[in-house]
Amino acid sequence: MSDGVRTGPESSERPLSEAYDTALLDLDGVVYAGGNAIAHAVGSLERARAGGMHLAYVTNNALRTPGAVAEHLTELGIPAAAEDVITSAQAVARLIAEQVPAGARVLVIGGEGLRVALRERGLEPVESADDDPAAVVQGYGGPELTWGRFAEASYAVARGVPWFASNTDLTIPSGRGIAPGNGAAVEVVRIATGKEPQVAGKPLPPMHRETVIRTGAKRPLVVGDRLDTDIEGAFNGGVDSLLVLTGVTDGPRLLAATPEHRPTYVDADLRGLLTGQPEITREGEGFRCGGWTATAGNTRLELDGDGEALDGLRALCAAAWTAAGEGSCELDGGKALARLGL
Q: What's the distance, Cα to Cα, between the start and end of the chain in Å?
A: 25
Is there a single domain that holds both residue 185 and residue 227? no
CB 70 within 8 A of CB 85: yes
Final residue of a structural domain among 165, 199, 233: 199
3, 21, 26, 332: the active-site residue: 26
Mean pLDDT by 10 residues, the chain (342 residues): 82 98 95 92 98 96 95 97 97 98 98 97 98 98 94 98 96 82 96 98 93 94 95 95 96 97 98 98 95 97 97 98 97 97 92
How many other C-beta atoms are found inside a 10 Å radius of the C-beta of residue 327?
Answer: 11
Final residue of a structural domain among 199, 223, 253: 199
Is there a single domain that holds both residue 99 and residue 209? no
Give CA–CA dist 301/255, Å, rounded: 10
The answer to whether position 77 is within a domain reads: no
Q: Tally the domains of the chain.
A: 2
Give CA–CA dist 109/102, Å, rounded: 20
Is there a single domain that holds both residue 229 and residue 160? no
DSSP secondary structure code for residue 38 in this structure: P
Is there a single domain that holds both residue 166 and residue 55? no
> Which residues on adjacent β-strands are paired with residue 33?
36
The answer to whether position 8 is within a domain reads: no
21, 28, 169, 332: the active-site residue: 28
Is there a single domain that holds both residue 51 and residue 98? no
pLDDT at 3: 55
Phi-psi category of 221—alpha, beta or left, where left has phi over 0 and alpha has psi -120 to 50? beta
The answer to whether position 115 is within a domain reads: yes
Side-chain-side CA neighbours of 98 within 13 Å: the count stands at 10
Angle at 303 between CA 300 and CA 305, to 5 degrees: 170
The answer to whether position 79 is within a domain reads: no
Is there a single domain that holds both residue 328 and residue 210? yes
pTM of the model: 0.91
Is residue 250 among the annotated active site residues? no
Q: Which CATH number does the domain housing residue 228 bear?
A: 3.40.50.1000
CB 110 within 8 A of CB 148: no
Is there a single domain that holds both residue 215 and residue 267? yes
Is residue 267 among the annotated active site residues? no
Q: What are phi and psi of 100, to 5 degrees?
A: -125, 160
Give CA–CA dist 16/52, Å, rounded: 12
Domain range for 227 is 16-60+205-334
Angle at 61 between CA 57 and CA 65, to 5 degrees: 70
Give CA–CA dist 275/231, Å, rounded: 20
